[in-house]
Amino acid sequence: MQLSFVFSFLLLSASFTVGGIIPFGKPAVSQRADVGQKLVFSHFMIGVVSDRTSAAEYDDDMKRAKEYGIDAFALNIGTDNYTDTQLDFAYESAASNDMKVFISFDFNWWNSSSDATAVGQKVAQYANKDAQLKVGEKAFVSSFAGSGLDTATVRAAAGLDLYLIPNFNADQDLSGLDGAMNWIGWQNDGNNKAPSGGNTVTVADGDNAYLNALGEKPYMAPVSPWFFTHFGAEVEYSKNWVFPGDLLWYARWTDILRLAPDYVEIITWNDYGESHYVGPLASKHTDDGGSKWVNDMRVHLITRPHNGWLEMAKPFIAAYKAGETDVGPHIDSDQIVYWYRPTPASTDCDATDTTMEPADNSTGNYFMGRPNGWETLTDSVFIVPLLTAAGTVTVNSGGTVYNIDAPAGASSWSVPMGLGAQAFSLSRDGAEVISATSLKEIKDECVCGIYNFNSYVGTVPEGPSDPLGEDGLTALTTGLKTACEAAPSLPATPPATVAPTATGTATAGPTAA
């Protein structure tokens, strides 16, 4: 409903190997997911990787996703002239990396009234490739939006068995589908914006609407970490809002373990412009203008080059696929994952922000200044310890120190954000186990002049930065009101911690989104 490029509805077919969970030693290319097998997908925007020139340029994404337990990418396609080239590369890379993929038709671009035949034909073009996800013998196909699509025509045009799990609205006719996907992974007002004026629709409300509408049919549930987009008049798709994020990523995964839906889709792998990417910044991609709030905003672990949010999700993915509710047994080393916005909400960027002028608002998505919904985010540092045994997690947020008695397994916490350096450590029996100071300070300052409500994510142990590549920075300066270099700018070494001046008490996080 609100993505900047493309979204999805599709089917997949062909063979399928789920990393490590298929018990029999059949050749990978002949394996298919079993009907009823729980699978995790991540939404992958083909529209942001039009600059890729080979299948090999997909290899890192495929390997990385698979390593975290993601079974397939939902390849979101519009109708651009590079689509087939990139789908060919993606299918080829997936096949050589023992990953699976399926097409997710984006009905911002495909027409649900008139494109049913074209959708079926596009499915047919790819569904017999080795990397196509199949459930049983049926090719998996999904979408973004697409309610009303004539599924009988799609199936006839495809000419093969489809497993159709598109993102139709729950109140539409779902009878022609094999299941349905819910896109709305964020608490909202029922009208695609953050809750306000007493209107609150929770993510669980969305789950219930779909589960009621689907009956026994499979449900694909959304999981998303964040949402912030901030496009001004410098582009044609001006839009500026947030959904409540904060500890959503943890709370929602906790929900998922209890709910145990048939399928889970992580929204997204690489939609940088809406800040809900969990894949790496370094993944080769173009710049829709989102680099203004994406540059420097994720880091990787040093020991294993992993993204913090994916790192947090890893034991949850494993537990979900095993039908378990306890992530503890899936945590094999101590880690702390943390995240926070780079500035407090009170920082005033009105004089230099890129959304202070009128812009096209035919979508109703454009707001001036701080993003619509900003009041629904708290000025906090969020902490998720993933521990092999109970320990004390110490957070120094700009000089205020918090000692957290963290249990074994996963837990979530927040502390008020303090300006300056952010330092984290774990100790047991008085001895430090791991520690790191974040490369990103919280500042009362408008980086590149703008309101940046994206989230920085770090891990302890700390790792090298995950820099945007050249192609991902091409539009950084477009429309900016202040001088700002289009280059990664995190320091190589962390800032000095702030000498402790006070202590505080951390708040335990929610366990339901």
Ligand X SMILES: *[C@@H]1O[C@H](CO)[C@@H](O)[C@H](O)[C@H]1NC(C)=O
Binding site for ligand X (CB under 6 A): 81, 111, 113-114, 361, 364, 366-368
Closest contact distance (angstroms) between CB of 114 and ligand X is 4
Within 8 A by CB and 6+ apart from 200, the residues are 187, 188, 189
319: left (phi over 0), alpha (psi -120 to 50) or beta: alpha
Closest contact distance (angstroms) between CB of 367 and ligand X is 5
Closest contact distance (angstroms) between CB of 279 and ligand X is 25
As given in the structure block, the two tokens for residue 385 are 């310890």
Closer residue to ligand X, CB minimum distance, 145 or 318: 145
Closest contact distance (angstroms) between CB of 43 and ligand X is 22
Query: 264 and 319 in contact (C-beta within 8 Å)?
Result: no
3-class secondary-structure state, position 139 = strand
CA 83/CA 86 separation, integer angstroms: 5
Closest contact distance (angstroms) between CB of 168 and ligand X is 16
3-class secondary-structure state, position 445 = coil
Query: 425 and 460 in contact (C-beta within 8 Å)?
Result: yes
Closest contact distance (angstroms) between CB of 167 and ligand X is 17
B/e letters for 6-44, b = 16+ CB within 10 Å, e = fewer, are bbbbbbbbbbbbbbebbeeeeeeeebbbeeebbbbbbbb
Closer residue to ligand X, CB minimum distance, 114 or 212: 114
3-class secondary-structure state, position 29 = helix
Determine whether 134 is exposed, middle or buried from the number of CB atoms within 10 Å of its CB (0-12, 13-18, 19+).
buried
Closer residue to ligand X, CB minimum distance, 115 or 178: 115
CA 314/CA 318 separation, integer angstroms: 6
Closest contact distance (angstroms) between CB of 75 and ligand X is 19
Closer residue to ligand X, CB minimum distance, 172 or 435: 172
Query: 16 and 137 in contact (C-beta within 8 Å)?
Result: no
Closer residue to ligand X, CB minimum distance, 118 or 368: 368
Closer residue to ligand X, CB minimum distance, 193 or 276: 193
Closer residue to ligand X, CB minimum distance, 368 or 408: 368
Query: 168 and 147 in contact (C-beta within 8 Å)?
Result: yes
